[in-house]
Amino acid sequence: MRKVILHYHLFKNAGSSIDSILHSSFGDKWINIDKENAWDKILPAEVSKYIDSNPAALAISSHQFMPPLPAGKFEVFPVVFLRHPILRARSAYMFEWKNQLGLSEPKGSFVDYVLDKLAPGVRGPISDFQVLRLSNTAYNGDGPKYSPELESRLGRAKGFISELPFFGLVEHFQESLERMHFYLQYHFPNLRVVNREVNASQGSEAGVEEKLFSIRRELGETLYGQLCERNRFDLELYNFAQAMFWSVVPKEA
């Protein structure tokens, strides 16, 4: 049976680094599929068609792939990375308000960015983004479908993560790459996994708690609390995934 890596490239979750690994390993047998409209989503039935219409592809990446996993005359090897949602918000700010605009400095402060993205009625890239992206229930159709209850979406996202043979954590990138290597190497012997970070918007030398403290100080208690509240389910998903991750890969003593 044909085997294909599917990289679910979640925005600001180290996806560029993973794509770089796949491209350097497989060359033109790695393809990236993103529709012109950035808001479009690719449901599993359409992913299956992409796989069938690209018979030489060993790995396919997209920002727009949606779970659940596609089915067909192939075996898929999903690659998904999760990120602490508050650290992810800081990275999204640097990308959207600096890198994406080609500026030497962000067009506004991080406070301005968070206020803009957390405005009433806005469900943007820093509001439970990961739970929303991983809780789709539609296999085919005109677009994603979600349960109206946020708790149900969280349960759906947890279920998807629980069923994956592999997922990585951006905050533990090296350990994640090691897991990814063992997960894929037997089936894809040309895969060359190295620790490469592409399009990184903040250094990784500081610990998670230190970075969170810095963000909290920068935003102030009230706005930081609002950001955490708008990511309540993403925080729960991340903590759930982190517990799963370390149950398989114990921390060094």
Confidence of residue 249 (pLDDT cuts 50, 70, 90): low
Whole-prediction pTM value? Answer: 0.91
pLDDT (average), residues 186-200:
76
Confidence of residue 195 (pLDDT cuts 50, 70, 90): low
Residue 251's pLDDT is 54
Interatomic CA distance for residues 3 and 185, integer angstroms: 12
Residue 120's pLDDT is 84
Residue 123's pLDDT is 75
Residue 200's pLDDT is 47
Residue 51's pLDDT is 97
Is pLDDT of 168 > 60? yes
Residue 206's pLDDT is 54
Confidence of residue 194 (pLDDT cuts 50, 70, 90): confident
Residue 197's pLDDT is 54
Query: Alpha helix (H) ranges present in 54-94?
Result: 85-94
Share above pLDDT 70 across residues of the chain, in percent, rounded to a whole number: 93
Is pLDDT of 205 > 50? no
Torsion of CA 64, 68, 72, 77, to 10 degrees: 80
Interatomic CA distance for residues 198 and 176, integer angstroms: 16
Residue 6's pLDDT is 98
For helices 85-94 and 221-230, the axis angle rounded to 10 degrees is 110
pLDDT (average), residues 173-202:
82
Is pLDDT of 114 > 80? yes
Residue 248's pLDDT is 72
Give the chain's mean pLDDT. 92
Is pLDDT of 118 > 90? yes
Confidence of residue 126 (pLDDT cuts 50, 70, 90): very high
Specify the CATH class of 2-248 in words.
alpha beta
Report whether 65 contacts 78 (CB < 8 A): no
Of 162, 117, 115, 143, the C-alpha closest to 41 is 143
pLDDT (average), residues 144-168:
95
Residue 243's pLDDT is 95
Residue 201's pLDDT is 45
Of 173, 185, 126, 131, the C-alpha closest to 153 is 131
Confidence of residue 223 (pLDDT cuts 50, 70, 90): very high
pLDDT (average), residues 3-28:
96
User: Can you give the residue ranges of every domain in the chain?
Assistant: 2-248
Residue 121's pLDDT is 76
